[in-house]
């Protein structure tokens, strides 16, 4: 009983970190995105410095929550597959590292905008091109965006495979996650070869984002299936 109560705490923690890492991410983006959109990125950023900084701070807090999801789930997932549980922690750490580098790039663009304001004779065209290059590693644009998405997808496939195998949550949730991750993976590769409209991208991303929130709420309010926990405890 004590062990299951302890796992219940881990499930709640994972659910909370999931919500912070996913839902709040869009909140941060809503603040900084208008000031970092081409054209004239540097001019826009200079006029919205406080808003952009606030948004990036929110997003950075989300980034710090990404590996905490895997760390919170590790004590139970390692009983399903020690290799995949360690791999899931590793990929979420890797994901957070990539995301952090993209945050630094955005802060660098903000610094460039401030520098341009104090040096009006600078080569605006060159700085603008550099700024667009730095922010091109968003979720669905550029090679770094694709790289980030593939790392994220591998982690999600590891998690949902372990959940499917163990039945710690209803299998429809884990199957939903696996299919949605594979769709997003196809999209991440497709953007390297063709243009994807924002509407289509959002439509393909939405199922996985919703699945993460459903999974997070299940962890918080339902926790792990007690019969599944007993089976993996007996097997371990």
Predicted confidence (pLDDT) at residue 172 exceeds the cutoff of 60: yes
| Residue 139 pLDDT grade (very low, low, confident, very high; cuts 50, 70, 90) | very low
Predicted confidence (pLDDT) at residue 43 exceeds the cutoff of 90: no
| Residue 142 pLDDT grade (very low, low, confident, very high; cuts 50, 70, 90) | very low
Task: Give the residue carrying structure tokens 């496939």.
Answer: 157
Distance CA 28, CA 51 (A): 10
Quick one: residue 204, left, alpha or beta (phi over 0 = left, psi -120 to 50 = alpha)?
A: alpha
Q: Is residue 144 part of a domain?
A: yes
How many angstroms from the chain centroid is the CA of residue 139? 9
**pLDDT of 212:** 94
Residue 50 · residue 63 · CB < 8 Å = no
162-200 exposure pattern, b = at least 16 Cβ within 10 A, e = fewer: bbbebbbbeeebbebbbebbebbbebbebbeeeeeeeee
Q: Is residue 36 part of a domain?
A: yes
Predicted confidence (pLDDT) at residue 74 exceeds the cutoff of 90: yes
Q: Is residue 236 part of a domain?
A: no
Q: Is residue 235 part of a domain?
A: no
The total number of structural domains in the chain stands at: 1
Q: How many CA atoms lie within 13 A of 67 on its CB side?
A: 15
Q: Dihedral through CA 75, CA 78, CA 82, CA 83, nearest 10? A: -90
| Residue 141 pLDDT grade (very low, low, confident, very high; cuts 50, 70, 90) | very low
* The model's pTM: 0.88
Backbone angles phi, psi at 38, to 5 degrees: -70, 160
pLDDT (average), residues 208-233: 94
Q: Is residue 96 part of a domain?
A: yes
Residues in the chain: 236
Predicted confidence (pLDDT) at residue 137 exceeds the cutoff of 70: no
Distance CA 108, CA 110 (A): 5
Query: What Cα–Cα distance (Å) separates residue 71 from each residue in 5, 91, 199?
Result: 17, 11, 34
Distance CA 128, CA 130 (A): 5
Backbone angles phi, psi at 153, to 5 degrees: -65, -40
How many angstroms from the chain centroid is the CA of residue 153? 9
Residue 51 · residue 94 · CB < 8 Å = no
- Running DSSP on this structure, what letter comes out for residue 145? H
Contacts 24+ apart (CB under 8 A), 115-119: 116/42, 116/46, 117/46
| Residue 122 pLDDT grade (very low, low, confident, very high; cuts 50, 70, 90) | low
Predicted confidence (pLDDT) at residue 124 exceeds the cutoff of 50: yes
Question: Domain span at residue 87?
Answer: 2-228
């Amino acid at each position: 009983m004590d062990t299951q109560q302890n796992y219940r705490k881990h499930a709640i923690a994972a659910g909370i970190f999931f919500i912070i890492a996913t839902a709040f991410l869009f909140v941060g983006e809503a603040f900084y995105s208008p000031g970092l959109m081409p054209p004239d990125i540097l001019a826009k950023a200079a006029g919205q410095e406080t808003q952009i900084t606030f948004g990036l701070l929110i997003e950075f807090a989300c980034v710090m929550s990404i590996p905490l999801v895997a760390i919170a789930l590790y004590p139970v997932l390692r009983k399903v597959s020690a290799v995949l549980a360690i791999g899931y922690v590793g990929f979420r750490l890797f994901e957070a590292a990539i995301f952090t580098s993209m945050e630094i790039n955005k802060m660098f663009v903000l610094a460039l905008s401030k520098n341009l304001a104090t040096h009006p004779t600078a080569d605006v065209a060159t700085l603008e091109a550099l700024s667009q290059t730095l922010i091109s590693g968003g979720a669905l644009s550029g090679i770094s965006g694709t790289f980030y998405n593939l790392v994220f997808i591998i982690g999600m496939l590891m998690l949902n495979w372990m959940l499917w195998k163990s039945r710690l949550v209803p299998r429809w949730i884990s199957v939903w996650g696996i299919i949605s991750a594979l769709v997003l993976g196809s999209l991440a590769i497709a953007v390297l070869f063709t243009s994807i409209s924002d509407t289509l991208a959002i439509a393909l991303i939405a199922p996985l984002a919703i699945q993460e929130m459903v999974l997070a709420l299940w962890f918080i309010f339902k926790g792990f299936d007690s019969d599944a926990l007993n089976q993996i405890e007996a097997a371990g």
